[in-house]
């Protein structure tokens, strides 16, 4: 009997040896030991030791990461030493520091490497990581370990990777009290109260994770800014974070509240042309750089949603931005000024505001200013056409702002692979310089020759043990980093990488996860805002449907403003007969959307008010098509669940369960979206939901009565 149990338990533990308990904390950096002995041996042939050519904090990090990562992957200590002339092993370093690398790397290759880029090249018994700077070496080291994690061969390796975008930054909408605006993964990881003395392990692991995907900047405070962060004691706290980030090649940035000179400095004004105000900012910048010599700069939200700004003093956004840019310039800092502005007076169409405000200012900004533009003209909706500013400001570097946190895309409970959306936006042609003028080319600077370039992602990170709350939210963080490095990477490539790094090497499971991520974006759009609908979420927290929202302090915060449902039809006419927002795009772009009958369906109701009975190219009426999309979306979530169930055996128990539970919620919420929206719109169309489709389980009154005062992520009232 005892023997029987022993054998039973042995079998049990062997059976599970490849699937250990996991809680998601290790992200995509799990470095599981390579099981295949032959493959391990093959790797060891080139990677048995590490020689570092050069020194400094970032190179030290690279050496430590390689030691730890390769050691775990290969199941054997891989020691790192200074380069000594030996050749077997990894030889990593900065070109031109000593002649060891110089001898191994051709001049032609060396010329091709740019700032932060790297060369990864294998020889018979060695592997070279060569770069022009320390960050490049670190990124090369992580790239090498990714190859091993993906079990890819190193024979004949010759890769040159240069980042296409210079500033690859996360934007944390984190408040100093640790609440996170639009955060669904717990509280802020920055514990300001215990800083600067207490350095949480999570800060270090955060920096590692970012460096591993090429992120080189973090704005640690909310765009709805608090001047307190400029108080000397808070600056010391920020300096402590900067010290953690520095060895990982990450710079810290802060959000600057425009009225800080009043609130903190006691000045009577924050007018950007006032000499005292200008001096205050100069002094503040000097103070910051004394503490943080590599401080990145400021991010500013001004004259938007109640935030103070230059317009209060009759000054332009350029005058406001330039004042701050001048304070930062002597230290090499940059100023990221957001284009997400809309004036106090309600406009005929909010989608037009940023363009109207900023295009006339093209060329008026200092050289160290970037204008940070959201991907679409309204506000991170599930699907928006690209922002008309992309391509319209050739003399001003525009940087992309994506939202990684899913404020409008299912928040903490829906699986939606955002890389698909990012890719769709980046690949869109603006036609600014003729065909082929993609948004990616605007952002990477090649279209207009921008000197600085950037991409920002509003972070989805919090104190949740798995960082992002929804485990698949990690894929969005990962994708953001990879796309900021290379905006041309296909979403599927990223998903596949992430699936394999995060879960398993089983090809079937990897393919299934890739497929789940790839299809989930369209699915979500379908059950939330199909056919170009937008901004019909519940008010305030934006959790769940709220197409009936009609009473808010401003009309352009309501849903009825955006969907314009009436007896006649549905949608916002943004053509010549309506707000003519379409006019802000180039003629070739416009041509695709101007005609209701030719407009791609995904933006139909964004650009047109379409009669309910209008027959679309599918042969169905608008109403039928709307019903079908909502139903398809909800049904797809059921299929997502099935796909996940089909790979259960390849996923560890804990993470399997996490995702399963979220999929249950998503399915319930997708149906809620479908039924609430169709019940509401039905009152206008006066048409029935086609009989083959499931009918809403409740009355419209019921859906309207649902209230969630404690839904997460709302901005606290200070």
Q: Which of 483, 551, 180, 529 is nearest to 381 (CA)?
A: 529
CA distances from 345 to 242, 306, 316, 563 (A): 40, 12, 16, 20
Q: How far is the CB of 307 from ligand BDP (least distance, A)?
A: 8
Q: Is 450 in the site for ligand BDP (CB under 6 A)?
A: no
379 has catalytic annotation = yes
Whether 117 contacts 249, CB under 8 Å: no
Q: How far is the CB of 259 from ligand BDP (least distance, A)?
A: 16
Cβ proximity to ligand BDP: between 445 and 454 the closer is 454
- The rounded distance, in Å, linking the Cα atoms of 234 and 625 is 54
Identified catalytic residue from 22, 161, 181, 407: 407
Q: Which is nearer to ligand BDP, 195 or 229 (CB)?
A: 229
Catalytic annotation present for 667: no
Q: 51 has which bridge partners? A: 81, 91
- Is residue 179 close enough to count as binding ligand BDP by CB under 6 A? no
| 715 belongs to the binding site for ligand BDP (CB under 6 A) | yes
- Decide whether 45 or 347 has the Cβ nearer to ligand BDP: 347
CA nearest to 626, candidates 704, 703, 572, 685: 685
**To the nearest whole angstrom, how small is the minimum distance from the Cβ of residue 352 to ligand BDP?**
17
Which listed residue (22, 319, 379, 522) binds ligand BDP by CB under 6 A? 379
Q: Give the other-Cβ count within 10 Å of 546's Cβ.
A: 23
- Token match 């750089």: residue? 289
Considering only 132, 135, 146, 182, the residue that binds ligand BDP (CB under 6 A) is 182
Structural tokens at position 541: 């927290």
Distance CA 36, CA 18 (A): 12
What is the C-alpha separation between 45 and 624, in angstroms, rounded? 63
CA–CA dist 381, 529 (Å, integer)? 9
Quote the least distance from Cβ 666 to ligand BDP, whole Å: 21
Residue 223 near ligand BDP by CB under 6 A: yes
Choose, by CB under 6 A, the member of 133, 161, 181, 669 that binds ligand BDP. Answer: 181
Smaller CB separation from ligand BDP, 129 or 461: 461
Shortest distance, position 356 Cβ to ligand BDP, whole Å: 18
Report the distance separating Cα 443 and Cα 452, nearest Å: 10
Question: Among residues 306 and 434, whose Cβ is nearest to ligand BDP?
Answer: 306
Question: Based on CB atoms, which residue is closest to ligand BDP, 408 or 478?
Answer: 408
Q: Kindly state the smallest distance separating residue 517's Cβ from ligand BDP, in Å.
A: 23
Q: How far is CA 642 from the centre of its chain?
A: 28
384 binds ligand BDP (CB under 6 A): no
Instruction: Exactly one of 23, 155, 286, 305 is catalytic; name it.
Output: 305
**Does an H or E element contain 338, and which?**
strand 334-338
CA–CA separation, 276 and 261 (whole Å): 9
Residue closer to ligand BDP by CB (options 224, 580) is 224
In angstroms, give the least distance from the CB of 354 to ligand BDP: 12
Measured CA distances, 116 to 102, 136, 162, 250, 339 (Å): 18, 4, 7, 12, 28
224 contacts ligand BDP (rule: CB under 6 A): yes
Of 161, 379, 444, 573, which residue is the catalytic one? 379
Nearer to ligand BDP, 409 or 678 (CB): 409
**Could you tell me if 81 and 129 are in contact, meaning their C-beta atoms sit under 8 angstroms apart?**
no
CB of 11 to ligand BDP, least distance (A): 53
Closest Cα to residue 40, out of 145, 155, 131, 151?
A: 151
The verdict on 407 binding ligand BDP (CB under 6 A) reads yes
Q: Around 149, how many Cα atoms within 13 Å sit in the side-chain half-sphere?
A: 25
What's the number of CA atoms in the CB half-sphere (13 Å) around residue 460? Answer: 30
Catalytic residue status for 197: no
- The C-alpha atoms of residue 155 and residue 172 are separated, in whole angstroms, by 41
Concatenated DSSP letters of 55-119? -SHHHHHHHHHHHHHHHHHHTS---EEE--S--SEEEEEETTSSHHHHHHS-HHHHHH--TT-EE
Binding of residue 340 to ligand BDP (CB under 6 A) = yes
Closest separation between CB of residue 443 and ligand BDP, Å? 18
Shortest spacing between CB 338 and ligand BDP, in angstroms: 7
What is the phi/psi pair of residue 244, to 5°? Answer: -70, -40
Using alpha carbons only, how large is the chain's radius of gyration in Å?
Answer: 26
Contact 43, 66 (CB under 8 A): no
Q: What are the tokens at 607? A: 């650009």
Residue 543 is a binding residue for ligand BDP (CB under 6 A): no
If the CB atoms of residues 299 and 392 are measured against ligand BDP, the closer one turns out to be 299
Q: What span, in angstroms and rounded, lies between the C-alpha atoms of 281 and 283?
A: 5
The whole-angstrom separation of Cα 604 and Cα 532 is 5
Q: Contacting ligand BDP (CB under 6 A), which of 31, 253, 380, 521? A: 380
- For residue 227, the tally of other CB atoms under 10 A from its CB is 19
Q: Which residue is nearest to ligand BDP (CB)?
A: 379
Return the number of other C-beta atoms located less than 10 Å from residue 13's C-beta. 9
Question: Across-strand partners of 429?
Answer: 438
What is the smallest separation between the CB atom of 546 and ligand BDP, expressed in angstroms?
13
Q: Which is nearer to ligand BDP, 223 or 442 (CB)?
A: 223
**Least distance from ligand BDP to the Cβ atom of residue 226, Å:** 13
How many residues line the site for ligand BDP (CB under 6 A)? 11
The distance of closest approach from Cβ of residue 339 to ligand BDP in the complex, given in angstroms and rounded to an integer, is: 10
Q: Does 539 bind ligand BDP (CB under 6 A)?
A: no
User: What does the alpha-carbon distance between residue 532 and residue 10 come to, in Å, rounded to a whole number?
Assistant: 57
Q: Do the Cβ atoms of 589 and 574 come closer than 8 Å?
A: no
**528 or 599: whose CB is closer to ligand BDP?**
528
Verify binding: residue 174, ligand BDP, rule CB under 6 A: no
Q: CB-wise, 126 or 301, nearer to ligand BDP?
A: 301
Q: Calculate the alpha carbon distances from 195 to 222, 243, 264, 291, 536 in Å.
A: 18, 12, 21, 15, 40
d(CA 628, CA 356): 37
Binding mask of the shown chain, residues 62 to 101, with x at each position contacting ligand BDP by CB under 6 A: ----------------------------------------
Note whether 301 binds ligand BDP by CB under 6 A. Answer: yes
Nearer to ligand BDP, 223 or 531 (CB): 223
Chain residues in the site for ligand BDP (CB under 6 A): 181-182, 223-224, 301, 305, 340, 379-380, 407, 715
> Which residues form the catalytic set?
305, 379, 407
């Amino acid at each position: 009997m005892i023997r029987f149990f022993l054998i039973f338990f042995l079998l049990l533990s062997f059976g599970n040896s490849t699937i250990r308990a996991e809680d998601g904390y290790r992200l995509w950096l799990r470095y599981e030991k390579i099981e295949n002995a032959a493959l391990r041996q093959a790797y060891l042939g080139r990677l048995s030791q590490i020689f570092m050519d050069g020194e400094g904090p970032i190179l030290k990090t690279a050496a430590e990461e390689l030691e730890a990562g390769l050691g775990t992957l290969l199941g054997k200590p891989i020691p790192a030493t200074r380069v000594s002339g030996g050749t077997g092993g990894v030889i990593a370093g900065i070109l031109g520091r000593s002649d060891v690398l110089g001898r191994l790397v051709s001049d032609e290759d060396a010329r091709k490497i740019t700032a932060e880029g790297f060369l990864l090249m294998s020889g018979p018994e060695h592997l070279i990581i060569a770069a022009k700077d320390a960050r490049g070496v670190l990124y090369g080291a992580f790239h090498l370990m990714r190859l091993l994690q993906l079990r890819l061969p190193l024979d004949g390796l010759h890769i040159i990777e240069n980042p296409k975008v210079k500033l690859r930054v996360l934007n944390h909408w984190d408040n100093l009290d640790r609440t996170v605006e639009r955060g669904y993964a717990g509280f802020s990881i920055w514990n300001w109260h215990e800083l600067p003395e207490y350095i949480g392990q999570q800060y270090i692991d955060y920096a590692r994770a970012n460096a591993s995907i090429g992120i080189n900047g973090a704005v640690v405070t909310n765009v709805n800014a608090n001047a307190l962060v400029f108080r000397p004691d808070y600056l010391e706290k920020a300096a402590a974070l900067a010290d953690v980030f520095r060895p990982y090649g990450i710079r810290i940035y802060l959000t600057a509240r425009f009225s800080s000179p009043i609130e903190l400095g006691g000045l009577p004004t924050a007018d950007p042309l006032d000499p005292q105000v200008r001096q205050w900012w100069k002094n503040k910048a000097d103070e910051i750089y004394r503490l943080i010599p590599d401080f990145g700069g400021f991010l500013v939200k001004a004259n938007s949603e109640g935030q103070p700004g230059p317009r209060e003093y009759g000054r332009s956004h350029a005058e406001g931005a330039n004042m701050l840019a001048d304070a930062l310039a002597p230290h090499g800092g940059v100023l990221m000024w957001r284009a997400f502005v809309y004036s106090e007076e309600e406009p005929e169409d909010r989608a037009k505001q940023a363009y109207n405000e900023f295009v006339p200012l093209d060329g008026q900004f200092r050289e160290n200013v970037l204008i940070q533009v959201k991907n679409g003209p309204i506000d991170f909706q599930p699907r928006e056409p690209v922002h008309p500013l992309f391509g319209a400001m050739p003399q001003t570097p525009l940087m992309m702002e994506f939202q990684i946190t899913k404020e409008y895309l299912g928040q903490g409970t829906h699986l939606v692979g955002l890389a698909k959306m990012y890719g769709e936006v980046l690949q869109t042609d603006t036609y600014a310089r003729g065909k082929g003028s993609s948004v990616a080319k605007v952002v990477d600077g090649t279209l207009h020759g921008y000197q600085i370039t950037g991409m920002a992602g509003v972070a989805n990170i919090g104190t949740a043990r798995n960082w992002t709350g929804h485990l698949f939210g990690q894929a969005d963080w990962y994708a953001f980093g990879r796309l900021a490095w290379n905006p041309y990477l296909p979403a599927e490539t990223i998903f596949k990488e992430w699936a394999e790094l995060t879960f398993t090497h089983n090809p079937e499971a990897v393919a299934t996860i890739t497929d789940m991520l790839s299809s989930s974006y369209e699915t979500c759009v379908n059950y939330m805002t199909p056919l170009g609908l937008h901004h019909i979420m519940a008010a305030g927290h934006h959790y769940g449907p709220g197409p009936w929202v009609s009473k808010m302090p401003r009309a352009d915060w309501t849903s009825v403003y955006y969907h314009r449902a009436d007896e006649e039809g549905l949608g916002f006419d943004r053509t010549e007969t309506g707000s003519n927002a379409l006019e802000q795009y180039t003629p070739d772009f416009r041509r695709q959307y101007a005609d209701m009958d030719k407009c791609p369906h995904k933006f139909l109701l964004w650009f047109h008010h379409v009669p309910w009975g209008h027959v679309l190219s599918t042969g169905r009426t608008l109403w039928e098509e709307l019903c079908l999309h909502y139903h398809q979306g909800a049904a797809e979530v059921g299929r997502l669940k099935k796909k996940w169930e089909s790979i259960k055996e390849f996923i560890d128990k804990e993470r399997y369960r996490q995702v399963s539970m979220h999929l249950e919620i998503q399915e319930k919420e997708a149906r809620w979206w479908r039924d609430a929206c169709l019940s509401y719109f039905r009152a206008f169309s006066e048409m029935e939901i086609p009989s083959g489709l499931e009918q809403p389980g409740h009355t419209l009154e019921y859906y309207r009565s649902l209230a969630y005062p404690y839904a997460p992520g709302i901005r606290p009232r200070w």
